[in-house]
């Protein structure tokens, strides 16, 4: 099937992506007024679906919207769009919908726009990537997975312009997260990640890494990471739904550790992949 013929879900209909149309008055288009989720799929099964749907609820609550669909309806849509058992991901987006006129104030009685598609996951560069540190210029409610991602786009592009794969964001001397990832660092032998708060997205993969570390005797903690500590760390990782656990081998042009994935990463990578395999076999 050609990419343009792939089915997507839009407001109750399944149709080829090339035929999916949204009103120019949609508030997602005019204001970025909406939220999204990304759910990995392994072996034809959505990964930690309950956790992703709870985060969707939280994001919707944060922008004063109700969830337009019950969990079983979301699952039904996902299962219809999942194509085979290869690694893929579901992208879902909910906007406030199309209002009769453009007005910043939230309109009453507007029907949300609901969009879902499924795409293949790109291979993960397990040999490691380069990252750069940049000032965190985003708004103060980064715990909401909002579609207003212009700041993230500009920050990621700054990384690309500097021949790096990701921008690690720093606010007032403290690491928050990546432009599209959470951040881990090994500090004094302890796997460390910044604590949850309004300045970072509560990553599902982030939480799973902490959970798996605890279950497998890996010292891990949620604690603020200073920029100085990050630059001294022998291991730095990025985590996300589609990148899983990605080692950083160079930061701001300087090698991290020995300039290759450190000794803890392959251990956690094996633990994580075993967890995925159990899901595939369930």
Token readout for 215 is: 């279950």
Which residues, other chains included, contact 79 with Cβ-Cβ below 8 Å and sequence gap of 6+?
A: none
How far is it, in rounded angstroms, from Cα 239 to Cα 250? 16
Which residues, other chains included, contact 80 with Cβ-Cβ below 8 Å and sequence gap of 6+?
A: 7, 9, 14
Token pair 């219809």: residue: 80
In sequence order, what E strands does 51-172 have? 88-95, 113-120, 129-135, 166-171
Token readout for 251 is: 């930061």
Token readout for 277 is: 């395999």
Residues in the chain: 282
* Dihedral angle computed from the Cα positions of residues 243, 128, 156 and 193, in that order, rounded to the nearest 10 degrees: 70
* Nearest residue to 231 via CA among 248, 249, 256, 253: 256
- 145 part of the active site: yes
Evaluate the CA torsion angle 254, 189, 134, 247 in order and state its sign.
positive
Half-sphere exposure of 179 (CA within 13 A, CB side): 22
Annotated active-site residue in 21, 111, 145, 196: 145
Catalytic residue numbers read 145
């Amino acid at each position: 099937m050609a990419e343009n013929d792939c089915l997507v879900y839009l407001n109750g209909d399944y149709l080829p992506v090339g035929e999916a149309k949204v009103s120019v008055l949609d508030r997602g288009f005019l204001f970025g007024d909406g939220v999204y989720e990304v759910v990995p799929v392994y072996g034809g099964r959505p990964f930690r679906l309950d956790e992703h749907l709870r985060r969707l609820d939280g994001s919707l609550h944060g922008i004063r919207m109700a969830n337009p669909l019950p969990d079983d309806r979301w699952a039904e849509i996902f299962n219809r769009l999942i194509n085979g058992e290869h690694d893929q991901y579901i992208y879902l987006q909910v906007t406030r919908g199309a209002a009769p006129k453009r007005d910043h104030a939230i309109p009453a009685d507007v029907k949300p726009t609901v969009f879902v598609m499924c795409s293949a996951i790109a291979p993960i560069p397990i040999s490691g990537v380069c990252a750069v540190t940049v000032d965190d210029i985003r708004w103060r409610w980064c715990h909401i997975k909002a579609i207003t991602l212009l700041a993230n786009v500009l920050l990621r592009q700054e990384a690309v312009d500097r021949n790096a794969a990701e921008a690690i964001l720093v606010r007032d001397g403290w690491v928050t997260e990546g432009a599209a990832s959470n951040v881990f660092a090994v500090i004094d032998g302890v796997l460390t990640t910044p604590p949850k708060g309004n300045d970072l997205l509560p990553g599902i993969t982030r939480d799973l890494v902490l959970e798996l570390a605890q279950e497998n005797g890996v010292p891990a903690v949620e604690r603020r990471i200073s920029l100085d500590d990050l630059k001294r760390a022998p291991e730095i990782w990025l985590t996300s739904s589609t990148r899983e656990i990605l080692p950083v081998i160079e930061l701001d042009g300087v090698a991290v550790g020995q300039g290759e994935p450190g000794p803890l990463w392959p251990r956690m990578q094996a633990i994580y992949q075993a967890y995925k395999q159990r899901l595939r076999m369930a």
